[in-house]
Amino acid sequence: MKVKKHIFHTLFALNIMVLVLPGLVSCSKTDTATPTSSDIQLQVMNLSPDSYPLGLYQNNLRITGTNYSFGNTPSYFYLTSTAYPLQLRVQRSDTVLVFNNDSLQFKNNTRYSLFFIGLYSEKLLKPLITIDDTASLPPIGKGGKLRFVNGSPRAKGLDIWANGSRIIENTDVGKVSNYVTLPTGNYSFRVYSTGTSTNSLTNLDRVTIQDGRLYTIYTRGIIGRTAADTAAFGLVVVPNNPPKINR
């Protein structure tokens, strides 16, 4: 009798292991898997000073729990799907659709930036998607690369100066310049209206350009607003390579 009970208990324990073990293995695979095999990365910048926070949607489903607000610089994250359309919606009670793209073909192992530019009150909203966040790096020892995005509403042509020299010129609102190569070192950047070199509109000091890195420098806010204004005109630098990744 004791032998039968022992056999019964042993078989029962084995059956439980057969049922539970696959589930444990499955959970382990889920926890350690990369978000996507394509490694497509995206960062979203809300440069509209009067828009509500934005939510990002893909195939009409909200992705990421982040509300993209003016003044914040979120890091890159992985797109786990390439489904279309890709949308930005103002997070109000009526959830206004402000951007829709159903044709952009994302490439594997590539980073993208989505800038949202303009004034909600003027209905002059414009998305800008950069497709060269993984541009070729300068040779080792030759410094880093920098590009400029004019993200300021109403700001026409702008020039960027670095350490007293003009490096990028006549970039209109909602446009992105080509990359320029800068030697490794510390820089003071100034923004001027195109063709002028006095009375800078804003400045950004003590920026370090490192060897073999990609950077984006962009303007945000409205020219003429005081520093105490939440919509004050300003200059921001973010690294594109390597980015800070949120998995």
Whether the per-residue pLDDT at 230 is higher than 60: the answer is yes
* C-alpha separations of 148 from 13, 118, 217 in Å: 65, 17, 5
Main-chain dihedrals φ then ψ at residue 94, nearest 5 degrees: -100, 5
Q: Considering the chain, what is the average pLDDT of its residues? A: 81
The 10s digit of each residue's pLDDT in 67-125 is 999 988 889 999 887 778 888 998 877 778 888 887 777 888 889 999 999 998 888 88
**Residue 46 confidence class, pLDDT cut points 50, 70, 90:** very high
What tokens does 216 get?
């984006």
Q: From CA 179, how far away is CA 205, in angstroms rounded?
A: 20
Return the pLDDT at 242. 66
Q: Which amino acid is at 203?
A: N
Residue 183 has pLDDT above 90, yes or no: yes
C-alpha 174/C-alpha 167 separation (Å) is 19
Between 212 and 189, residue with greater pLDDT: 189
Query: How far, CA to CA in Å, does 197 sit from each of 49, 140, 144, 201?
Result: 27, 32, 25, 10
Residue 5 reports pLDDT greater than 80: no
CATH of 41-246, one of 1.10.8.350, 3.40.50.720, 3.10.25.10, 2.60.40.1120: 2.60.40.1120
| Poorest-pLDDT segment among 24-33, 69-78, 117-126, 129-138 | 24-33
Q: Locate the domains of the chain by residue range.
A: 41-246
Phi, psi for residue 2 in degrees, rounded to 5: -65, -35
One-letter identity of residue 56? L
Q: Name the residue with higher pLDDT: 100 or 183.
A: 183
Q: Do residues 188 and 204 touch, judged by C-beta distance below 8 A?
A: yes
